[in-house]
Homo-oligomer: A and B are copies of this chain.
């Protein structure tokens, strides 16, 4: 009975590790959304009420001054809303559907920014958009992924070069003190990988630089404040694209062509950079999820061990191979210092995690994945899910092709 319950506890824990991570992430995102909603509501609600008050006053003023009946004014404003959708504003904007305007529009479609300053109004335009977006967005996702891989390669190259120089410097110092030092250093370079935190830092700084330069351009060209320009940059580069502020919409600018080109260039660079940054941050988030799951795992196991260990030791029972395998893999997560290969438990400890900006993420993840794999093998054979591995291997092949081999 106890064996069964342990088996149940452990196999449920491990079988559903992927689902647990997915569920944990979904729960955390939900909490994040709820907190965000509460904070935004607190920040923005007063200003909304004020805007409503102001608008009511202005509406009343206008109807009284010009002796227009409210219903007629409302009808007129509805017509204006309709015109708005077609891209008409009081202060003449650039034409929406001339070639440059349409080019800007399709750019916001394939990048999924979707400002909404221009939207197809005809049915044929909307039908075409669906097919056009389907291929275009997929191609752009591939473009972003290839860019991500290019930038990571480049950053790794630079970081390795810096690391090599540092080693050589210490090596020179070391060898002047005692001769063996430099040989050891060269060896340590072989398996060297840059820390994800450095990559995140560099990408963050790059994104910040691009956003700052772009903001300087926008604030001088669009009459926005520098901060508003920066806010626009974030909204555009992250492909959120609210459309409350949209660049390059006036009818005329000084150096119009240069500005349009600069606008496209900054948006492409910014979107690529922020996409890479988001992906690197998501690695860190995954680490945190793994760490939380490992903690929960350990706590559950310890509680179980306290309850059942004595019973187990005294019980004379057949121990099938399968169960042993499972217990072993759980142990890998729980007991951190019993044998040499048991690094994962150590590594997941809080102290190490907090100090891990010096620990290469690659090593961390390899260990985590080894742990998970150990636990997984039995599961796969258990429920015949090995077919899943095949299709995952397709994604793997793709991802490997996208990000590893080249």
Contact = CB atoms under 8 A, between A and B. Distances in A.
A405 B373 contact: yes
Contact of A51 (B40, B86, B402, B405): B86
Interface stretch (A5-13, A88-96, A333-341): A88-96
A398 interface: yes
Nearest to A195: B394
23 contacts: A18-B149, A25-B142, A29-B136, A29-B143, A32-B135, A40-B128, A51-B88, A52-B86, A58-B76, A109-B240, A114-B243, A116-B241, A126-B228, A130-B230, A133-B235, A137-B278, A138-B282, A156-B388, A161-B387, A193-B390, A241-B241, A283-B394, A283-B398
A103 B387 contact: no
A17 interface: yes
Nearest to A387: B160
A279 interface: yes
Nearest to A36: B106
Interface string A105-148: 11111101111100111111110111011111111111101111
Query: In the complex, which of the residues A108, A116, A136, A147 has the most CB atoms of chain B within 10 Å of its own CB atom?
Result: A116
Interface stretch (A66-74, A166-174, A177-185, A311-319): A66-74
A51 B99 CA distance: 18
Contact of A391 (B155, B279, B406): B155
Given A39-B132, A41-B98, 13 more contacts: A33-B136, A36-B102, A36-B110, A37-B106, A44-B121, A51-B83, A77-B80, A126-B231, A138-B285, A159-B387, A193-B390, A193-B394, A399-B403
Contacts of A395: 148-149, 152, 403-404
Given A44-B125, A239-B239, A365-B401, A136 B391 contact: no
A51 B231 CA distance: 32
Interface residues of A, number: 165
A354 interface: no
A357 interface: no
B388 A157 contact: yes
Nearest to A104: B37
B67 A388 contact: no
B119 A242 contact: yes
Contact of A157 (B81, B87, B285, B387): B387
Given A106-B33, A132-B36, A401 B362 contact: no
Contact of A394 (B101, B125, B228, B361): B361
Contacts of A103: 33-34, 37
Nearest 5 Cβ contacts at the A-B interface: A156-B391, A160-B387, A51-B86, A114-B240, A138-B281
A129 to B, nearest CB: 7
Contact of A105 (B37, B286, B361, B388): B37
Query: In the complex, which of the residues A72, A238, A242, A388 has the most CB atoms of chain B within 10 Å of its own CB atom?
Result: A242
Nearest to A62: B76
A330 interface: no
Given A153-B391, A281-B134, A403-B395, A89 B97 contact: no
Given A138-B285, A388-B157, A243 B89 contact: no
Query: In the complex, which of the residues A196, A199, A395 has the most CB atoms of chain B within 10 Å of its own CB atom?
Result: A395
